[in-house]
Structure 1
Amino acid sequence: MKRSEEMMVNDEKLKGSSSKFPLTLWEISAASGVVLAFVLGLLGVYLTMPASDYSFLKLPQTLEDLQILRDHLESYTSDYTIQVLVGYCVVYIFMQTFMIPGTVFMSLLAGALFGVFRGLALVLFTATAGASSCYFLSKLIGRPLVFSLWPDKLTFFQAQVAKRRENLLNYMLFLRVTPTLPNTFINVASPIVDVPYHIFFLATFIGITPAAYVTVRAGIALGELRSVGDLYDFQSIATLFLIGLVTVTPTLMSKNKSL
């Protein structure tokens, strides 16, 4: 009874959110302030780099773009490690915050420039920080956008979260490990369906580790990749689903005991 009442209240919140679209002037100002902060961070990195031709600097959208970026940045990474690290972090977090496609290329780049272990640590930090930034920005201004873009997915996600409130961490881990729902959607929808931040954080950090490891390791042999699809063959996807099944098993066992 209590759960159904909670779902009804959340439904009313979601229905009422449609009237907030488009964003108010204050919400647009808040989002613009976040963008400005990222731009200033990138500008600071750019001004501390040596004078050179930086026409190669752009967000990679293909493997060819990524290989060109890797070839140019390798020489800078050893001499200007701090600037490259800060620039990488700002770009990755910015992309995650504003749902810009291409973070998989950034993960590959981390492996190519820093190796498996340092690259994995870098990706886990930036991906978790970016997802957290997206979470809080969505908490601030995201409700009308999410309701407008993904109304059906949002209703489904809300119902699943309400049903699994007692084992929410296991469910969120399952979503992170497996491609059941897009990570971008999870980032923006979680605060709207009342997923607590500590659960969101733990599920993100732990859940993205297997896929991040696969991607970062592939970055070392970047020249051998022919397409992004090569990263996730049947064996890799099956392994991720197996890990996801293990994470959700405690939830299934607790249900059986209650029955």
Structure 2
Amino acid sequence: MEMEKLTATACCNNGNVNYGRVADKSSSSKFPLTFWEMAVASAVVLGFLLGLLCVYLTMPESDYSFLKLPRSLEDLQILRDHLENYTSDYTVQVLVGYCTVYIFMQTFMIPGTVFMSLLAGSLFGVLRGVALVVFAATAGASSCYFLSKLIGRPLAFSLWPDKLSFFQAQVSKRRERLLNYMLFLRLTPTLPNTFINVASPIVDVPYHIFFLATVIGLIPAAYVTVKAGIALGELRSVGDLYDFRSIATMFLIGVVTVTPTLMNKNKP
């Protein structure tokens, strides 16, 4: 009887301790970033804003009320119509401003980069537009990767605990052919690109593999979007960008890239 009482008391005490830890964890998870992590993120934001300010100061005096992040095709067409007047005379400023905005949106997972890709096609044509989008998207994904490596772990576990566990398990199983798997993810909508950018350093995806998969994997989608930007006036919705043929082609390419990984896994 004495032993049973001691055991019951110990279990209750352990339960109280565990409950306290869970409570502390849940209370701290309301805002997962510490003061220093917020300071790092704020410094990055400030750096981007200073870059945009420098671009703005080198542009001619004019009414720039049209400058805003496009949220619809109508906003994008207005932005395109105004920027066409500046692109030929102030090409460097437009390019720097475009890349800064695109990288900023990718770094902080701000939706709307599809409109920026359409804008690249409308302003610069297919070849230069694809090169610009792939460069800016890769730079933004890399910026997000390194920022997440510094401060992203608590945020990722707070936002996507189940998805992060799934990604970790898949990466662990495919270490020998990780590039093929990362290419598959970039080419198909299996996981969102924003999640891949944030989660990759947390699950120990090496940067060189992340970089190669991003550069190569973004080319097909960039080509489709940039090409559609040339005929911007004919688009009725963003859904018109990806027809069944385009999606099936990219998915087929993704399956081809991941096939060596699956074959290697099934070997005895």
- Normalised by the size of structure 1, how large is the TM-score? 0.92
Q: How does 1:180-191 map to 2 (within 5 A)?
A: 180-191=190-201
C-alpha distance in 1 between matches for 2:253 and 2:77 = 31
Shift of 1:118: 0.3
Alignment-derived partner of residue 9 in structure 1: none
Tell me which amino acid in the other structure corresponds to 2:212.
L
Q: Flag as ranges the 4+ runs of structure 1 deviating above 2 A.
A: 17-22
Specify the code of the residue in structure 2 equivalent to 1:252.
L
Give the drift of 1:253. Answer: 2.0
2:122 corresponds in structure 1 to 112
Is the 8 Å Cα contact of residues 186 and 217 (structure 2) preserved in structure 1? yes
Q: Does 1:67 align with 2:67?
A: no
Aligned pair partner of 1:233 in 243, 249, 254:
243
1:177 and 2:224 are equivalent in the alignment: no
* Equivalent in 238, 247, 253 of residue 263 of structure 2: 253
Return the offset for 1:48: 0.3
CA distance in 2, matches of 1:116, 1:22: 42
Query: Matched residues in 2 for 1:232 and 1:148: separation?
Result: 32
Which residue, out of 105, 108, 124, partners 2:134? 124
SS across alignment from 2:71 = coil
- Report the number of matched residues: 243
Offset at 1:22? Answer: 2.2
Aligned counterpart, 1:37: 47
1:59 counterpart SS class = coil
Matched with 2:204 is 194
1:133 corresponds to 2:146: no
Partner deviation per Cα, 1:128-157 (whole Å, 9 max, x = no partner): 000000000000000111111111100000
1:147-200 C-alpha deviation (Å, 9 max, x unpaired):
111111000000000000110000000000000000000000000000000000
Distance 1:60 1:136 in 2: 27
Aligned partners of 2:66 and 2:265: how far apart in 1?
A: 54
Whole-angstrom CA distance in 2 between matches of 1:252 and 1:155: 20
Q: Which amino acid aligns with 1:246?
A: V
- Give, in angstroms, the shift of residue 233 of structure 1: 1.1
CA distance in 1, matches of 2:116, 2:85: 18
Q: 2:38 corresponds to which residue?
A: 28
Aligned counterpart in structure 2 of residue 159 of structure 1, from 150, 163, 169: 169
- Distance (whole Å) between structure 1 residues aligned to residue 32 and residue 143 of structure 2: 21
Match 1:219 to one of 207, 229, 238: 229
CA-CA distance at 1:23 after TM superposition = 1.1
Unmatched 5+ stretches in structure 2: 1-21
* Aligned-partner SS, 1:166: coil
**What secondary structure does 2:79 align onto?**
helix
Q: Give the aligned partner of residue 19 of structure 2.
A: none
Shift in Å at residue 53 of structure 1? Answer: 0.3
Q: 2:37 aligns to what SS in structure 1?
A: helix
Q: Following the alignment from structure 1 to structure 2, what is the Cα–Cα distance between the partners of residues 149 and 255?
A: 31
If you compute each CA radius of gyration, which structure gives the higher value, 1 or 2?
A: 2
The answer on 1:98 being equivalent to 2:111 is no
Report the AA paired with residue 48 of structure 1: T
Higher relative contact order (CA 8 A, sep 6+): 1
Matched residue type, 1:142: G
Q: Could you tell me whether the CA contact under 8 Å between 2:32 and 2:158 is conserved in 1?
A: no
8 Å CA contact retained: 2:142, 2:211: yes
Which range moved further: 181-190 or 22-31? 22-31
Q: TM-score scaled to structure 2, two decimals? A: 0.89
Instruction: Provide the alpha-carbon RMSD of the alignment.
Output: 1.4
Q: How does 1:4-23 map to 2 (within 5 A)?
A: 22-23=32-33
Deviation string 1:108-141 (CA, Å, 9 cap, x unpaired) is: 0000000000000000000000000000000000
Once residues 107 and 22 of structure 1 are traced to their aligned partners in structure 2, the CA distance between those partners, rounded to angstroms, is 32
Query: Which blocks of at least 5 consecutive residues in structure 1 are unaligned?
Result: 1-14
